Every structure is written in C-alpha cells, then in structure tokens.
Structure 1
Amino acid sequence: MTRIIASLAEISAPYDVLYCDLWGCLHNGKALFPQAVSALQAFRRKGGAVVLLTNAPRTRHAVKRRLDQMGLPEDAYDAIAASGDATQVAMLQGAAGRKLWHLGPGKDEDLFSLIPDWLQDQPPIERVSLDEAEGIICTGPFDEFNETPEDYRGRFLSAKVRGLKMLCANPDLVVDFGETRIYCAGALAELYAEMGGEVLQFGKPYPPVYDTARSALADKGISVDNDAVLAIGDGFRTDIRGAQAEGIDALFITGGLEAARFGADSEAPDAALLDAWLAEIGLSPRYSMGRLR
C-alpha cells in the first residue's frame, strides 16, 4: 500500500539523490510548477542532489535550453539525463545502421548536431528518406499536435517488410502540453512493434537512461547506492515501473497523466481509488502525492 504524503520534505531525509521527471511533475510543457521548483531547491539545500531524468527525445543541452527559457533556476538541480542522450549513443554506434529515416519534429535536430567529444570518431549518420533508409530513429510524430500513430501505419508496413529497426528516443505514449494531450514517440513505437517491427527503447523504464543518470552524477563526483535514491514521476509505465525495475523507491505524482482516476481533486488523491488501481496494475510506489511540493 502506498503512503500518501503532503510534501517531499516529509520523507526526504533518507535520500541523497532524486531522479525527478519533468513533464507532469516540474512543468506542463508551457509553465513551471512553482511548488515543485521550491521542493527541489529545498532538497538541494539540505545537501541532496537532483537529476532531472526525462524521456525527452533530445540531448540534455536542448533540455537545458528549454528549461532556461521557462525560467527554471539552476539551484533546483545538479544534472540532466535525457532519453535522447542514451538514444544518441546507440544511434552513433550504428545500432540501426548509418542511413536513418528521422521520424520526428525539427526541434530534435540536436541529436544529429550536438555530438559528445567521446563519440566524435564514429562514422557519420546520414539522414535519408524512408525508401533509402537502413533504420529509423523516432523522436515523435512530425506534427505532434495533429497526427496520430495511425497516420503512419502505411509507412510502418513498408519499413517492417524491409526489416528496418526503430530506435525510439522517448518511450512515453502521451504527454499533456498545457491542456492538450499529444502523442509521443512511444505511441508510434508501440504501433510499429504491434505490426511486427523491431524496436529498441532508451528512456524510462529501460536501463540505458538510468545508466545515463548515474554517469551524470559521476561527472559531478557523486556515487550513490540505490537505497539512497528516490524516483519521482507521474508515468506509471515509465517512471514507476522503471524505478521498480532498478530497485529504487518511487514517489508517484497522481495529479499528472493519471489524475482523472483518483477523484475530483487532483491535489488530493482518493486513497481507496489509488490503492485499488495500483493493485490492479501490479505496482507499489512507496509514496504518492497529488502534486510535487
């Protein structure tokens, strides 16, 4: 049974590191949540470290630029680990070939242009049309506000018949951009896999992005055991399953993607509804709360 808490400070003492999700926890794609920002700042003031662990299908550099634009103070976190970083490594090492069809919006350009120094010696990736491709790198729909996975069924059939492997840079199915729910790369990858295509995933809940998070901490001179890490997220498929697989305690933010399941007040989840749903899906986050604060 999960413990519903009112603030992060209630339970933060045993933890040295937070792995904190972005969308639905720290912001809604348009604006930061001030109470969430304050909670992370307070955790760092007590000596803890915060990794912003995101399924964003772009590098940490692009994620930081966006957070800077949104006004996130730098004293709210220590490092960023993005699904795009983990995907980029596999892409540059040739996991799906060297000639790739990029399925995704132009904002994910940094995957191809911001190459880490230690990967500069890899042969170049050539972006080509689907007809010429050896593989696919998927960062989302081309038009995430208007397209659905079904819009790609025909192209996916062609790719599957040719045996093209897909690298999925964001396992999330959907995110809420303000009040609008949009499809992510994970929804496209799910359809491709259902059609028989081969998919490699790199964000939460899969191991590569957690390796990226540990590397980001190591770069700061921080080494931590799993029992001193708390993962915070609103995605049960990604944040909570990923934490469970890694042996990390989890704080489930119920007021995010799944808010409609737990009563009328997104700030105060109904305990009976929450416990019944968690039992149904077989998950047991140690803590839950409506919004991060």
Structure 2
Amino acid sequence: MEKLTIPETLQKNITYHSEVCDRHTYIKAGQEIVKPIQKMVIDGELVCPRCELEQGDRKLQEATQKEYDEFLKQKKYNTFYNRSILADNTILAATLENYHVEHQEERKNKQTVMESISRLKNGQVFNLILQGNQGAGKSHLAYAALRELNESGLDVSCLFVNVESMMRLIKDSFNNKESRYTENYFVELMSEADYLALDDIGAETGAIGTDKIATDFVQRVLYAITTTRQDKSTLITTNLSSETLFRMYDKKLVSRLFRNPKFVVFKETKDKRMNNIPF
C-alpha cells in the first residue's frame, strides 16, 4: 500500500486513516492491479491524497483546454479583420444596415442576402453568387454578409479576398522572397476559411468588355482554391455574365464556382458611386 510523504509543516493538520482508496490501478504483466492508497484526514475531512492530486490535475487540464479553445476562437474571429485582402478600404464600414435601397431590385436582393445568411448560420452549404452592374453594391453586401457571420458567435472563420489584389500580391512574391503572400499562403488560407468571399472575379484579367482569357496562372490558383472548398460555402461577386465567365475560364472551374448556387442578380440597379457626380 502506497504511503505518501507529507511535509513536516503540514503534518500537524494531517493524520493517516486506516481506510484505503482502491480506485487506483497499474498494469503489470498485462494485468490491471489495484494499488491501495491510504486515506488521510486533512483539516477534519477524510480524503484520498491521490484522488485529490488527480482532481487538481484534471481541473488544471480543463482550465488549460478552455484557455486554448478561447485562443483558437479568437484567432478565427480575427481572421476576417486581420487577413482579408481588400481593393477598397472603404468597404470596411459596410454593413447590412448601411446598404441603402432605393428600388425594388435592391430591396429584393438585400432580402435574399439576409435570408442566405440565416441559411448559412443554420449550417447549409451553398455558394452565393452576386452578379451584375458595377457599383450596385455587390462587394458591400458580400462583406456585410461575412461580417454578420463573423459576429454571430458561431466560432467560424470568415475571409474576404479581392481576387485582383490577391493575384498582384502573389506575383510580387515571385521576386520578393520576404513576402508571405505566396501562392501556397493564399491557397492554404482560403481553403481553411469556413466562409470565403471571392470579390470581383474576372477583374484580375482586365477582361471586362474584352475577349481576354484568364491566364494559366490565374486559373491554377482559383482551381486550387475551389478544389478544397467543395464542402464549404463561398460568396462570389462579379460584373461578368455567365457566358463571359465560361469563355474566360476553364469550364470545370466555373462549374465549381457555381456549385449549388444561390444567385443575386443586379440588372436595373445603377452605379451607386455615380450618384454624387454633378455632370
């Protein structure tokens, strides 16, 4: 029977008891053997010192695990604000509340986005495609949707990436060995995000109103990202028609972008950025 050694300074408050604890075991020759532990009376309470020690270890482990879980949760939350790639920093202020509607199409599309957010919060997986006129507020709504998801308390990571800006950063890393914005960095980052917005697909080719085709480099990066997101939801904004997208990109890539889609299309909404121009 194991007898623990007690420091002399504590012995006056502790006495051994004849009762033993038989909850503790060890393995010998493949067999589990009970190792009795003599109980003690500590400050008038009968306890097993080994049980007390294990309980203390368990509480410490639980506290450590809780702290680590909180760290991971905060890291996910910060992904949206610290690692998103924007072309226009004014979008940082974008919310659903400050997306002002003037016409029926805007009202309908905003409602569709709000309903889509609810579906995403409930765990549904689909791609939300916002397409149509430039300046209609597609990026605003996509960023606002991610903000809602990020602030929902669901312990998810959200990421907003302007595709053209991302491609420029990757190309810069070819000659800048100190840059962290490599192709692998973005593929891994965007693959891990629970909710991702690919902003302004097509603008990276400068192809609006032209017959240009996306380069092999662009197609490779986008294909790598979409390949790893087959079981996750992605928000996509583009000014381009489906016809142009299928001409510009490989059909497999476009098919993955349009996987299980919910479309939000702007046909009548005018460029909101032009409203204040007096001529």
Fold match, TM over 0.5?
A: no
Radius of gyration: which is bigger? Answer: 2
Question: Comparing both structures, which one devotes a greater share of its residues to helix?
Answer: 2
TM-score, normalised to structure 1, is 0.31
